Amino acid sequence: MSKLRFRISMSLDGYVAGPGQTVKEPLGIGGERLHEWVFPLEAWRRPHGMKGGVVNESTPVMADELANIGATIMGRNMFGGGPGPWNEADPWMGWWGRNPPFHHPVFVLTHHVREPLAMEGGTRFTFVTDGIESALAQARHAAGGQDVALAGGARAAQQYLKAGLVDEMQIHLAPILLGGGERLFEDAGALQDLALVKTVHAPDVTHLKFVRT
Amino acid sequence: MSKLRFRISMSLDGYVAGPGQTVKEPLGIGGERLHEWVFPLEAWRRPHGMKGGVVNESTPVMADELANIGATIMGRNMFGGGPGPWNEADPWMGWWGRNPPFHHPVFVLTHHVREPLAMEGGTRFTFVTDGIESALAQARHAAGGQDVALAGGARAAQQYLKAGLVDEMQIHLAPILLGGGERLFEDAGALQDLALVKTVHAPDVTHLKFVRT
């Protein structure tokens, strides 16, 4: 059975983005500190087209996270381009350039209809306007038997968590305080049978893996 | 130099007490779930006068936490008895019975003057009305060269964290959501040079140890 696997970086005070998110600061003020643990890793640099990098305790966690993923779901805010209807004259293409690092179908939750967007390297963005269950069904179909990644952000994750649809959750806990922004576990209900099964201590991050019991 | 060592149990969504704290439910609704990891431990049962119990990955963490502590600081809410002036006719003596498990001087932050309260077993509660720095100075003096424990709750901890007075912080992260209550890192400022140095994965809890760099 294809699983829905959610992974996200969160600060010790529970934020997955800093305050004041804008087009220029998509992660909000200080939000890039959530991800400082990942940028030096060889396991992150390689799929982003860069050579070299560090191998440490986070490396097998990243390998596990990337393995057997056939499609990704994300919220509109994570895809970016601001809220509201899409600008047809100057369409937003995502944060990731011409060749995004997904290399598989990506389903974007939005209230605004838009034609699918095919990028280089196998990434194809499909915009889903009929809710989280439809996006999950479409992503599962597109994944062809592989699992589906839920990439965030906070509101998309809250909806899937509350609906009890998440099979696996990997929290990359950054030992920092952001003091404001988007909180992951705000009105998220219960953990819905997700149990902590593994903790990994790595430089600048603690990885907490939860699975459905 | 005598250190101020803060330790507290926190849920994955950042709460150190559940919603609806009352005299009958001092930890709030569901708040006892924060501490489920500790109750079975031999290292917890022994100082509370009970025999038997479990030895696991949390045992050395508890031993480390209890070692070399000569005094404790806590907030009024943690000592209990409701807010406002003390009831002189029926004085609140704390949650812990005649022989509290501290066995050393305890300093309670409050806005309301009260005479010190000597209990059995060496615990003596002193009520401090002139602020956190005074409480820390008094506790350091009483500890006679040993360290001082900061036991919580959220508001007392926030004040010490913001003032940069915490030398060591042990977060017992319970893999649960409480959905409301007292959040630890609310308006807590930065981590003030506290760096994560150790993570311990134990049944029903992850221990995160921070020290001043």
The secondary structure of chain A, three-state, reads CCCEEEEEEEECCCEEECCCCCCCCCCCCCHHHHHCCCCCEHHHHCCCCCCCCECCCHHHHHHHHHCCEEEEEEEHHHHCCCCCCCCCCCCCCCCCCCCCCCCCEEEEECCCCCCCEECHHHCEEEEECCCHHHHHHHHHHHHCCCEEEECCCHHHHHHHHHCCCCCEEEEEEECCCCCCCEECCCCCCCCCCEEEEEEEEECCEEEEEEEEC
- Cβ neighbours of residue A44 under 8 Å, at least 6 residues apart? A38, A53, A62
Residues from chain A that touch B177, judged by Cβ atoms under 8 A, are 185, 188-191
- Per-residue pLDDT, A61: 97
Residues from chain B that touch A13, judged by Cβ atoms under 8 A, are 14, 184-186, 188
- Residue B110 in contact with residue B127, Cβ under 8 Å? yes
What are B104-154's pLDDT values in tens digits? 999 999 999 999 999 999 999 999 999 999 999 999 999 999 999 999 899
Nearest chain B Cα distance for residue A179, angstroms: 6
What are A178-190's pLDDT values in tens digits? 999 999 998 777 8
Q: What is the pLDDT along chain A (213 residues), one digit of tens a residue?
A: 899 999 999 999 999 999 888 878 888 888 999 999 999 999 999 888 899 999 999 999 999 999 999 999 999 999 988 888 998 888 899 999 999 989 999 999 999 999 999 999 999 999 999 999 999 999 999 999 999 999 989 999 999 999 999 999 999 999 999 999 999 998 777 887 899 999 999 999 999 999 998
Of B177, B187, B188, nearest to A190 by CB-CB distance is: B177
What is B4-17+28-83+97-212's CATH number, 1.10.340.30, 1.10.540.10, 3.40.430.10, 1.10.3720.10?
Answer: 3.40.430.10
* Cβ count near B69 (within 10 Å): 18
- Residue B16 in contact with residue B152, Cβ under 8 Å? yes
Residues from chain B that touch A171, judged by Cβ atoms under 8 A, are 12
Q: Is A191 on the interface with B (CB under 8 A)?
A: yes
Of B173, B176, B189, nearest to A179 by CB-CB distance is: B189
Q: Which of B10, B11, B13, B58 to mutate to test the interface with A (most CBs of A within 10 A)?
A: B13
Q: Is B208 on the interface with A (CB under 8 A)?
A: yes
ipTM entry = 0.89
Q: Is A193 on the interface with B (CB under 8 A)?
A: no
What are B67-118's pLDDT values in tens digits? 999 999 999 999 988 888 998 888 899 999 999 989 999 999 999 999 999 9
- Per-residue pLDDT, A83: 85
The size of the A-B interface in CB pairs under 8 A is: 67
Nearest chain A Cα distance for residue B208, angstroms: 9
- Per-residue pLDDT, B82: 82
- Cβ neighbours of residue B55 under 8 Å, at least 6 residues apart? B41, B42, B43
**Hey, where are the domains in chain B?**
4-17+28-83+97-212
Q: Is B191 on the interface with A (CB under 8 A)?
A: yes
Residues from chain A that touch B191, judged by Cβ atoms under 8 A, are 12, 175-177
Q: Is A54 on the interface with B (CB under 8 A)?
A: no
Interface touch B185/A208, C-beta < 8 Å: no
Residues from chain B that touch A196, judged by Cβ atoms under 8 A, are 175, 206
pTM of the model: 0.92
Of B176, B199, B210, nearest to A199 by CB-CB distance is: B199
3-state secondary structure chain B: CCCEEEEEEEECCCEEECCCCCCCCCCCCCHHHHHCCCCCEHHHHCCCCCCCCECCCHHHHHHHHHCCEEEEEEEHHHHCCCCCCCCCCCCCCCCCCCCCCCCCEEEEECCCCCCCEECHHHCEEEEECCCHHHHHHHHHHHHCCCEEEECCCHHHHHHHHHCCCCCEEEEEEECCCCCCCEECCCCCCCCCCEEEEEEEEECCEEEEEEEEC
Query: Can you name the CATH fold of A4-19+28-84+95-212?
Result: Dihydrofolate Reductase, subunit A (3.40.430)
Percent of chain A with pLDDT over 90: 81
Nearest chain B Cα distance for residue A147, angstroms: 24
Interface touch A177/B188, C-beta < 8 Å: yes
Q: How far is CA A195 from the centre of its chain?
A: 20
